[in-house]
Amino acid sequence: MRYLPLTPADRQDMLQRIGVSSIDQLFTDVPEAARLDGPVGLPAYQTELQVERALSKLAGENTAASSVPFFVGAGAYKHHVPATVDHLIQRSEFLTAYTPYQPEISQGTLQTLFEFQTQVALMTGMDVANASMYDGSTACAEAVLMAARVTKRKKAVLAGSLHPHYAETTRTSAKYLDIDIASTDPDPGGLSGIAEAIDDETACVVIQTPDVFGRLHDLTDISEKAHAHGALVIAVFTEPVSLGLVKSPGEMGADIAVGEGQGIGVGLNFGGPYVGLFACKNDRNFIRNLPGRLAGETVDADGRRGYVLTLSTREQHIRRDKATSNICTNSGLCALAFTIHMTLLGEKGLTTLAQLNHETACDLADRLGAIEGVDLLTDTFFNEFALRLTRPAADVVDALVDKGVLGGVPASRLYPGGGLDDVLIVAATETNTPEDLAAFETALREVLA
Amino acid sequence: MSMNTQGRPTRIEHDIDPGGYETLSGSRGLDQAEPLLFERGSLDVSGVDLPTPKGGPNRLGGMKREGPIGLPGLAEPEAMRHYVRLSRKNYAIDLGLYPLGSCTMKHNPRLNEKMARLPGFADIHPLQPEKTVQGAYKLIEELAHWLMVLTNTPAVAMSPKAGAHGELCGMMAIRAALDARGETGRRRVLVPESAHGTNPATAVQCGFFTDEIPADKTGRVDMEAFKAKLGDDVAGIMLTNPNTCGLFERDIKEIADLIHEAGGYFYCDGANFNAIVGRVRPGDLGIDAMHINLHKTFSTPHGGGGPGSGPTVFSEALAPFAPLPFVVKTADGAELKMAENLSDVDGSGARPFGRLTAFHGQMGMFTRALTYMMSHGSDGLKQASEDAVLNANYILARLKDVMTPAFEGTCMHEALFDDRFLKDTGVTTLDFAKAMIDEGYHPMTMYFPLVVHGAMLIEPTETESKSGLDRFCDVLLGLAEAASAGEADRFKAAPIHAPMRRLDETRAARQPVLRWTPTADDLQAAE
């Protein structure tokens, strides 16, 4: 019990000071029938070495992304994270702090959140951002609920090429609030049907760019149409690195921009923890309808600039059943990792990183698109694209594993029964070497031959 | 300079009031002032080395960004200093006792961190081929097993990303179960006054409305009021146990029976599960759903406010409605797979209410929590709960004659006081908390739960030593004495030894400044 400082003698002394004779007497409020007698039926403690061995064995049964040519994306991306990032987030004062409820001794967390909010607002071309959400999918769902609150309308239109997990998360969040969620068909080729779906009852349209097939969309025209009908445009992204190279949601007229921040500073982690980004215009009472935490600037009693959590009157601990959302946390440590990585990159580094991602993906698209029986479905993309194969993509991916290549996500995994069985979604990043690209090309040729 | 008998210097005589002047830099020795990165960085500086891009044609289809973003960078040494300096302005559990009631700030073992960073867990993708992540699925299954055994429940949803997300998971399952029964009239959810604010907010997000139950004189659910509220429009109850007053709800079995008889479900907020692990199994109490804050009970670090993780356990009645995705065996039983879609569970009897998030939940937190559980084992987890309860009762015993306990009797893992002992001193609960900062402690939770006037909720956790608790109690007793002795001015001025003095929270809310924006001078300098 190396984490427990009390000695048996301490426990005796303390029980005596409390005035009871045994620990059981502290549990007398627990009804007899609810008490557990005897052991709970789980293994006994293990030493540090034993635990390390057991978990290392489990970890060893997985194929780490860095150990193979790796091209899996569709919502989470393999990027290199500088060593400094992990060192800094493991500093005790960041890692083991709580929510900054006492601002005088939490300025480290609060200032970095303020920096995070500013970076996210700048990257998305928005006026303000919050202090992060659980992940991109829940940020997307909260954005739709916010649009419904702001417009007082109950209809949302989702693009079919919005990541299906994001669409399902949004449907779940809205299903008991009588918000009607319509969705266009998934279309690796474009955004068909979206413009036609907007009418005067539409609260928002939700479009991902780059979308789940990797395709980039210019939202300018859709934004104009949506605004003419009084609807909001929610731009979604799953790859934050793309914002270093492509037009921001704000430039294209979006009102709310939400997305996954994992690609900057946060590892793959098998799906979590990630960091949801949430930004919006400073318009139509948006700020008071924002879900989640916000850090704000103020001064202390000596007039020195400092930061606090603010506008908490929107939140559950004040408004309870009238709160903007039930969320009471953020993804603080991941937001910190994002901010540190972003600070190391700076504009220059982000732009270069984005360019490298794009060039690597273009090279890969050229190589794979030239293989007989492979059709490149995505003509405009950032670092991810879709291919149509002559065989079910799931089988191809499976066969590629045996050749030591993790070659993307079969669209059928995201759209079962969606008629996209022969579509493969492939991502490339700065971590892919020319040798990786060659290995993928060779392996795919062999599998399709 | 005077010397004591050991020859060590004891005091430097000087004429200057140490707090009486501002330094030129704004720093105070090791407490170094740190500007925002936007005021120190530059658009053409980067702290990473990347290869030079080739340039040339692109496939961005005319969607290339044209203008600058405005994101400054810092070279690596500068970035290191910026964030190390900022980190030093934070209190943390590794620096001292962090007695925030209801928040459970226990020691965060570094073995957890090391295991979560194994490439086989940290560097795998949620959608990579399933045969390449069997170890990860096994870890999720193993953790799920521990959670089900500790709670004596037959099912657990692993995907909720935080405690409040777990509440949403549980209440959505309740809503789905009622809908499956065709009970469209059951929309009232009973919530005790002392509930976490997330409870009512969660109920509303599931299309319910809430009805408050008052607390009785002992700090527990008023049973008469509860019984009076039962009816055929009741969807269920959301009850925290141990509750936010730090007390075990003695009537919990009766509450469970009555809510079930009335046709409703019992949601238990498991935020305080850390008090009873190994001694009480919530499944034995008749709960239908309960989230478990892995960060609180199983020591994953809070990281300045997240990420959390909130797996939710279910009774037989609600188990079929658990959300996607979840781990199942493949048809031949040889491997594990993730059931991602409705088509994956056809014919299994599962009727998932939907999906709460992309991917599978907080894998990084799962690894940390399982590491902690294995390091304790069955007996160790029980000992941890017992020590948490012992420590809280020890604080209660040491302080109760001076500070005023909110309720009589023993407590569970946290001790609740109110502000009666500060009456007529001119010192508020907030002043008292800020004075604790000057003494080197993070304050306790204040003004919560709402049912107690001027509440002060102290949760020491099991990872504090007796001597550490004694020092803490001595300080609180000393402060209470100073307040009684009429030293209100000192409390009003506090904190004076923190990186900042008291911050103006009203101003922050009235004139929100939520991001840095360049001033006219900055813009001119940039040109």
pLDDT digits (tens, 9 = 90+) for A50-105: 999 999 999 999 999 999 999 999 999 999 999 999 999 999 999 999 999 999 99
Across the range A166-190, mean pLDDT stands at 93
Chain B hits for A359, Cβ within 8 Å = 53-54
Residue A181 predicted with pLDDT over 80: yes
Q: Which of A15, A88, A348 shows the shortest C-beta gap to B43?
A: A348
The confidence score (pLDDT) of residue A315 equals 84
Instruction: Choose among B441, B420, B440: nearest CA to B429.
Output: B420
pLDDT beyond 90 at B17 = no
Q: Which two tokens stand for residue B349?
A: 């009897």
Taking the CA of residue B517 and the nearest CA in chain A, the distance in Å comes to 8
Q: Which residues of B touch A102 (CB under 8 A)?
A: 91, 433, 437, 442-443
Nearest CA to B205 among A138, A174, A157?
Answer: A174
Quick: pLDDT tens for A115-134.
999 999 999 999 999 999 99
Burial of B501 (0-12, 13-18, 19+ CB in 10 A): buried
Kindly state the average pLDDT of the residues B241-248: 95
**Six-digit token string for B447:** 């003004």
Is the confidence at residue A8, as pLDDT, over 50? yes
Collect all residues with Cβ–Cβ distance below 8 Å to B122 and sequence separation of at least 6. Answer: A267, A268, A269, B116, B364
Residue A172 makes CB contacts below 8 A (sequence gap 6+) with A141, B172, B323, B353, B354, B355, B356
Instruction: Indicate the Cα dihedral angle B163, B165, B169, B171, nearest 10°.
Output: 80
pLDDT score recorded for residue B56 = 82
CA distance to partner chain B, nearest, from residue A317 (Å):
4
Q: Running DSSP on this structure, what letter comes out for residue B298?
A: S
pLDDT at B525: 66
DSSP B415-482: EEEEGGGGTTTT--HHHHHHHHHHTT----EES-STTSTT-EEE---TT--HHHHHHHHHHHHHHHHH
**Is B513 close to A359, i.e. CB distance below 8 A?**
no
Mean pLDDT for chain B overall: 94
B60, A380 Cβ separation under 8 angstroms: yes
DSSP A43: P
Closest CA to B56 of A347, A215, A368, A358: A358
In the structure, what pLDDT confidence band is assigned to residue B5 with cuts at 50, 70 and 90? low
Lowest mean pLDDT among A27-41, A232-246, B181-195, B227-241: A27-41
Distance from the Cα of residue A384 to its chain's centroid: 17
Does the structure show a pLDDT above 80 at B524?
A: no
The pLDDT value given to residue B57: 86
Taking CB atoms and an 8 Å limit, are A348 and B45 in contact across chains?
A: yes
d(CA A195, CA B116): 45
Q: What is the reported pLDDT for B2?
A: 47
> Amino acid letter at A60?
G
- Residue B18 pLDDT exceeds 70: no
As a whole number of angstroms, the distance between CA B348 and CA A93 comes to 47
pLDDT for B521: 76
Contact A344, A329 (CB under 8 A): no
Q: How many residues belong to chain A?
A: 449
- Test B129 with A135 for CB contact under 8 angstroms: no
Confidence of residue B205 (pLDDT cuts 50, 70, 90): very high
Q: How far is B454 from chain A (nearest CA, A)?
A: 16
Is this prediction's pTM over 0.90?
Answer: yes
Classify residue B187 as exposed, middle or buried by CB count within 10 Å of its CB (0-12, 13-18, 19+): middle
Ranges of H-type helices in A134-283:
136-151, 164-174, 194-197, 220-228
Range B115-121 average pLDDT: 98
3-state per-residue secondary structure call for B216-242: CCCCCECHHHHHHHCCCCEEEEEEECC
Q: In sequence order, what are the residues at sequence separation of 6 or more whose Cβ sits closer than 8 angstroms to the Cβ of residue A145?
A: A173, A174, A177, A179, A291, A325
- Write down the pLDDT at residue A191: 87
**Contacts with B40 from chain A: Cβ below 8 Å:** none
Supply the pLDDT for residue A192: 85
CB atoms closer than 10 angstroms to residue B83: 29
**What percent of chain B is predicted at pLDDT more than 70?**
95
Q: Could B47 and A20 be called an inter-chain contact, meaning their C-beta atoms sit closer than 8 Å?
A: no
Residue type at B84 in one-letter notation: V
d(CA B117, CA A57): 14
CA separation for the pair A269, A135 (Å, rounded): 13
Q: What average pLDDT score do residues B256-270 get?
A: 97
Contact B277, B298 (CB under 8 A): no
For residue B353, give the nearest of B345, B362, B361 by alpha carbon.
B345
pLDDT-derived band at A438 (thresholds 50, 70, 90) equals: very high
Rounded Cα–Cα distance for residues B292 and A225 (Å): 45
- Hey, CA dihedral for B402, B403, B406, B411, is it positive or negative? negative
Pairing state of beta strands B9-11 and B2-3?
Answer: antiparallel
Supply the DSSP string of B319-385, one letter for each residue.
GGGPPBPEEEE-TTSSSEEEE-SGGGGTTTT-----BSSSTTS-HHHHHHHHHHHHHHHHHHHHHHH
**CB pairs < 8 Å spanning A and B:** 711
Helix (H) or strand (E) run with residue B392 in it: helix B363-399
pLDDT at B1: 43
Per-residue tokens: B318: 């609600």
Tell me the C-alpha distance between B274 and A351, whole Å.
47
Beta bridge partners of A424: A387, A410
- Which of B129, B463, B503 has its CB closest to that of A3? B463
Residue by residue, DSSP assigns A374-437 as -EE--SSBSSEEEEE-SS-HHHHHHHHHHTT-B--EEHHHHSTTSS-TTEEEEE--TT--HHHH
**B127 neighbourhood in chain A, CB within 8 Å:** 72, 74-76, 409, 413
* Cα–Cα distance for residue pair B247/A29, rounded to 1 Å: 8
Q: Which two tokens stand for residue B22?
A: 């501002």
Place of tokens 């809430």: B210
Is a pLDDT exceeding 70 seen at residue B6?
A: no
